[in-house]
């Protein structure tokens, strides 16, 4: 699971203590003041804020991975963020984006009013949505990540083949109705990510993000590879 982008990683209690110095050391220089450090410590040790599995920015051991933290507070206009290297024994559970979306829909109230409409789009177009970003973190922690101008970040499961052509228009209708920006990525095999707008632009090349790197790939070659793996 440390190889699956966007997955939430929940640290064991002892790991929240042992990894805290590294989390504090990885804060940007402008965010290393005592007040912010105390807020980070409370969020990690007491609230148990989960990390997000992300692409490593430093060399990793064979079984290691990197998780990033986005905290429910800011310094000025910038959200406080950090990242740390972890091993499997640091983690007690993972939550994938698909589970987060279902959890958000079951909440009362839902973290964002657009979510039920998105669930309708999901059913009508026979796709599977996952929730990431601030709405996902608010769903799983109850902390105030969302602001009135926050985007809603989604992933669409592309592992069974490309999403239907009508999906972008349906999502645009939800965005207009709720006056919210939707940032949508097609996620393939829980690893390869492509921005949906780019995918439907019919560009000859696609910017593909994975846990290993970011690369430009020929559209036709990449689509054929997906089709072969999906058996479609």
pLDDT of residue 220: 87
Q: Which of 77, 95, 113 is the last residue of a domain?
A: 95
155 in the same domain as 76: no
Whole domain around residue 129: which residue ranges? 97-230
209 in the same domain as 123: yes
116 in the same domain as 76: no
106 in the same domain as 196: yes
Q: Is the dihedral of CA 189, 202, 117, 113 positive or negative?
A: positive
67 in the same domain as 37: yes
Distance CA(199)–CA(9), nearest Å, equals 28
Q: How many domains does the chain have?
A: 2
76 in the same domain as 130: no
pLDDT of residue 222: 81
pLDDT of residue 159: 86
In a domain, 2, yes or no: no
60 in the same domain as 108: no
- In total, the chain counts a number of residues equal to 232
Give all strands of the β-sheet with 152-157 in edge-to-edge order. 129-132, 152-157, 182-188, 192-195, 205-209, 214-218
183 in the same domain as 73: no
Q: What is the pLDDT along the chain (232 residues), one digit of tens a residue?
A: 899 999 999 999 999 999 999 999 999 999 999 999 999 999 999 999 999 999 999 999 999 999 999 999 999 999 999 999 999 999 999 999 999 999 999 999 999 999 999 999 999 999 999 999 999 999 999 999 999 999 999 999 998 888 999 999 999 999 999 999 999 999 988 889 999 999 999 889 999 999 999 999 998 888 777 777 666 5
115 in the same domain as 221: yes
203 in the same domain as 140: yes
192 in the same domain as 125: yes
71 in the same domain as 131: no
């Amino acid at each position: 699971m440390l190889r699956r982008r966007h997955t939430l990683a929940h640290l064991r209690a002892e790991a929240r203590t042992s990894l805290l110095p590294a989390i504090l050391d990885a804060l940007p220089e402008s965010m290393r003041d005592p007040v912010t450090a105390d807020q980070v410590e409370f969020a990690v040790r007491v609230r148990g804020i989960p990390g997000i599995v992300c692409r490593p920015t430093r060399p990793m051991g064979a079984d290691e991975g990197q998780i990033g933290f986005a905290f429910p507070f800011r310094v000025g206009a910038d959200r406080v963020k950090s990242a740390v290297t972890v091993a499997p024994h640091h983690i007690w559970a993972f939550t994938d984006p698909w589970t987060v979306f279902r959890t958000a829909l079951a909440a009362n109230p839902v973290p964002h009013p657009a979510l039920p409409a998105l669930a309708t789009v999901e059913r009508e177009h026979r796709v599977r949505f996952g929730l990431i970003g601030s709405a996902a973190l608010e769903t799983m922690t109850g902390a105030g990540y969302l602001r009135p101008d926050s985007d809603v970040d989604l992933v669409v499961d592309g592992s069974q083949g490309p999403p239907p052509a009508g999906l972008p228009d349906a999502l645009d209708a939800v965005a207009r109705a709720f006056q919210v920006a939707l940032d949508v990525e097609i996620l393939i095999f829980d690893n390869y990510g492509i921005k949906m707008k780019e995918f439907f632009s019919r560009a000859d090349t696609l910017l593909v993000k994975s846990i290993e790197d970011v690369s430009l790939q020929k559209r036709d070659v990449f689509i054929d590879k997906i089709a072969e793996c999906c058996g479609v």
